Structure 1
Amino acid sequence: MDTVLASDHRGLKLKNFLIKKIQSEIIEDSYNKIIDLGPFSDDYPSDYPDYAFLMAEKIKQIQNNKYPHFGILICASGIGMSISANRFPWIRAALCRNKKDVILARSHNNANILVLGSNFIQDETAFSMYKLFYKTEFIYNKKYYNRVKKMTY
Structure 2
Amino acid sequence: MHNLKIAIGGDHAGFSYKQQLLQTLQVAELKDFGTFSSDSVDYPDFAHPVASAVESGEFDFGILICGSANGVAITANKHQGIRAAICWNEELASLARRHNNANIVCIPERFISFELAQSIIEIFFTTEFEGGRHANRVNKISC
**Which sections of structure 1, spanning at least 5 residues, go unmatched?**
none
Q: Give me the identity figure in percent.
A: 39
1:75 aligns with 2:61: no
Determine if the alignment matches structure 1 residue 84 to structure 2 residue 75: yes
In the aligned structure 2, how far is the partner of 1:136 from the partner of 1:83? 23
Give the 4+ runs in structure 1 shifted more than 6 A: none
After superposition, where does 1:32-111 map in structure 2 within 5 Å? 32-42=28-38, 44-61=39-56, 63=57, 69-111=60-102
Q: How big is each residue's C-alpha offset from its partner over 1:16-61, in whole Å with a ceiling of 9 and x where there is no partner?
A: 1111111xxx3xxxx311111011112x311111111111221233
Q: Partner of 1:18 in structure 2?
A: 21
Match of 2:113 among 93, 109, 122: 122
Q: TM-score, normalised by structure 1?
A: 0.87
1:4 positional shift: 1.0
Letter of the structure 1 residue corresponding to residue 68 of structure 2: S
- Structure 2: gaps of 5 or more residues: none
- RMSD between aligned alpha carbons? 1.2
Give the CA deviation at 1:152. 2.4
Deviates more, 1:68-77 or 1:92-101: 68-77
Q: Per the alignment, in what secondary structure is the counterpart of residue 100 of structure 2? A: coil
> How far apart are the structure 2 equivalents of 1:151 and 1:2?
24
